[in-house]
Each structure stands twice: as structure tokens, then as C-alpha cells.
Amino acid sequence: MESFFKMMKVELVYEKKYETRSEVARSIFEYIEIFYNRQRMHSALNFQSPDAFEASFNQSATTKLKAESTV
């Protein structure tokens, strides 16, 4: 968890000067929901984004269930 906050500070917070707390909150929300969860590659997920990893996992699970139901 600490590495997440470090990366967020490096990639987002230190790059911009914020005027209000609501601007900070919006920027952090966009970082997490748009960049971190959808685009950023994660080494723990075999260098895939969480969305791509989840889609791949769901596809393989569906394929496995179909194969098992035909047996």
C-alpha cells in the first residue's frame, strides 16, 4: 500500500499545484479510476492493467467452464 501512495505522489501530486481541496480530491479520483485501474501496468499482474487482467481472467474462466460443461 505504501508503494501505491509513493507512486501516486510522484506521478500526480508533485507534478501540479492545487488551489482547492476539491481539486485535489477530483484529481486523485481521476488518477485512481482512470489511470491506475484502467491504464497503468502492474508488475504483480504480469505487466497488465487491472482491467486487462480482469478481462483475461474472466475470459479464461468462461472458457474453462464451457470446456467442463461439454465433458
32-69 pLDDT, tens digit per residue, is 888 877 778 878 888 888 888 888 889 888 887 777 77
Q: How far is residue 28's CA from residue 4's CA, in Å, rounded to a whole number? A: 12
- Give dist(CA 46, CA 52) in Å, integer: 10
Q: What is the pLDDT of residue 71?
A: 62
Residues with Cβ within 8 Å of residue 49, at least 6 apart in sequence: 37, 38, 39, 40, 41, 42
Domain range for 7 is 2-69
Residue type, 8: M
Q: How many residues does the chain have?
A: 71
pTM score, whole prediction: 0.56
Partner residues linked to 48 by β-bridges: 42
* Cα gap 22→53, rounded to integer Å: 31
Q: How many domains, in total, are found in the chain?
A: 1
